[in-house]
Structure 1
Amino acid sequence: MRRLSEERTKLVFAKLTKYIGDNLQRLIDRPDSVYCLREQKNRVYYMSEKILVLAETVSIDSLISAGTCIGKFTKTGKFLLHITALNLIVPYAQNKMWLKSTAEQQFLYGNNITKAGLGRITENVSQYEGVVIFSFNDLPLGFGVASKNTFDCKAADPMAVVCYHQADIGEYVRSENSLL
């Protein structure tokens, strides 16, 4: 596993900042240990430095992964967050949306969120800002990008899209079906 280049580190941090804002420092310097990002085969892994020391003892050919894979770089050089980053984003998320129970299943099938399915939204969400999606039971369902700011969401048509789907916990089930 190798360190991310400065350019790639900026891309990863920019994507994470979209969801957690100024809490990025808390994600790296945690009370239990210092965490770092490493790259292997265009995938970015988040792990403690203790795990990194252990992973360095294994040869590159034998190591499949270490830590949590939070995303990957595309062939065009963009960084995409995976659903596995959800557990890292949730404690530090600044913008949140809660779905009505009728809209949860549609979101978990990979569809965008309409105004009719929106239950609550945090104040001062800007357009095109990252949001974490929750059920009314505060179960994190995934994350997306707000298509409208908070004020426009309240005044929108019931069928207007208020959040673009990025990733959801239903991806595990959908990807397993494609493997069969």
Structure 2
Amino acid sequence: MQPGGEQRTEGDELSRGRHETKDERADRRWGELMQEIRVAQTGVQILFGFLLTVVFTTRFPELSATDRTIYIITVSLGAAATGALIGPVSFHRLVAGRRIKPHAVVWASRLTFIGLVLLLATLASALLLVLRVATEATYVPWLVGGLVAWYLVCWYVLPLWVRGRYTNVDDGDGD
């Protein structure tokens, strides 16, 4: 029996080590998500801001049609990543006070994941453009491919490996 006369089972939320309610867990997860988003938002906003200025440089008219296409794709990806990574803030604002924070956390987390995938695509596209213009070397796609592979290892492969390696099925909610 828990305080207040509530009986808890072994797999119950309050017996998983943190001893937090569903609402407390949602609050904690929301705070953690906002901290993570701050890091990604800063990077994507700086990159996107830089990309928006490129079109006004003196060298932009000299870009080949291929490089201009890469630029348009890069700016579009940056805009999409910015939208997805800022989306959770708007999401929270619009649903605040409705007692649906656990659902808001799930949807904001999904937007953040999509934003990170779009950020990866933006970085790859921006690297391709910059390195093509800077070097015109034939190895540029290979270099960009190697960097994308590195991002994939750092952002997805390693965390998924650690999650699989150290997560005990009986640990509970996956935090």
State the TM-score, normalized to the length of structure 2.
0.32
Q: Higher helix fraction: Structure 1 or Structure 2?
A: 2
- Looking at both structures, which has the greater relative contact order when contacts are Cα pairs under 8 Å and sequence separation is at least 6? 2
Larger Rg: 2
State the TM-score, normalized to the length of structure 1.
0.32
Q: Higher strand fraction: Structure 1 or Structure 2?
A: 1
